Amino acid sequence: MKDEELIRLADEARKNAYAPYSGYTVGAALLASDGSVTVGCNVENASYGATVCAERVAFSRAVADGKHEFLAIAVVGGRCGQPAETRFHPCGICRQVMREFCRDEFRVLVGNGEEIVCHTLGELLPAGFSSDAMKETRP
C-alpha cells in the first residue's frame, strides 16, 4: 500500500475522533503484514486520564482481530476542523506500545495530504524498553 493511501485512511479515521475536551483530533491507520489496515481515532473521557490515543486504539483493535505483525502506521493530528498539522508526532506512551509489537524498522508516517514524513520506530524510540530486557541472561 502507498504511503499516501495510508495517510488518507488515517485522515478519514480522524473525522470520528471524540475530543470534546482538548479539541485536538487524531486519526491513525495501521498496516499489518497481511496487508490489512486497522484504523483508530482518539477517544477522550471526562476523567481525562481515561483518554486513549488514536494509535493505541488502532493497535488494540488490530490485536483483538488476531494481528501481531505490522509494517507501518500513519498518524495525523490537528485542531478540530483544521487540516492535519505537519508538526504532529506520536506521544511517548504510543511509541512504547508500538515497541511491544514492532521492530526498529517499523515505519511511522506523519504529515498530511501535502507533505508526508517517514520515521522509523528506532528513530522515534531509541534505546527503548522491551521484553528483551527481561529475558533470562543467567546460565
Tell me: does residue 90 bind ligand THU (CB under 6 A): yes
Closest CB to ligand THU among residues 54, 132: 54
Tell me: does residue 78 bind ligand THU (CB under 6 A): no
Lookup result for grid cell 509489537: 101
The residues near 96 (Cβ < 8 Å, ≥ 6 apart) are: 125, 128, 129
Task: Verify whether residue 55 is a known catalytic residue.
Answer: yes
Closest CB to ligand THU among residues 18, 34: 18
Q: How far apart are CA 97 and CA 60, in angstroms?
A: 10
Bridge partner residues of 120 (DSSP) = 107
Which of 6, 10, 13, 26 is the binder for ligand THU (CB under 6 A)? 26
C-alpha cell at 18: 471524540
CA distances from 31 to 9, 20, 37, 122, 124 (A): 10, 28, 5, 18, 18
Which of 6, 32, 37, 54 is the binder for ligand THU (CB under 6 A)? 54
Query: Active site residue: 44, 55, 100, 136, which one?
Result: 55
- DSSP readout, 57-69? HHHHHHHHTT---
Rounded to 5 degrees, φ, ψ at 56 are -70, -30
Tell me: does residue 51 bind ligand THU (CB under 6 A): yes
Tell me: does residue 55 bind ligand THU (CB under 6 A): yes
Tell me: does residue 22 bind ligand THU (CB under 6 A): yes
Closest CB to ligand THU among residues 37, 76: 76
Binding residues for ligand THU (CB under 6 A): 19, 22, 24, 26, 42, 44, 51, 53-55, 90-91, 94
Show which residues are catalytic: 55
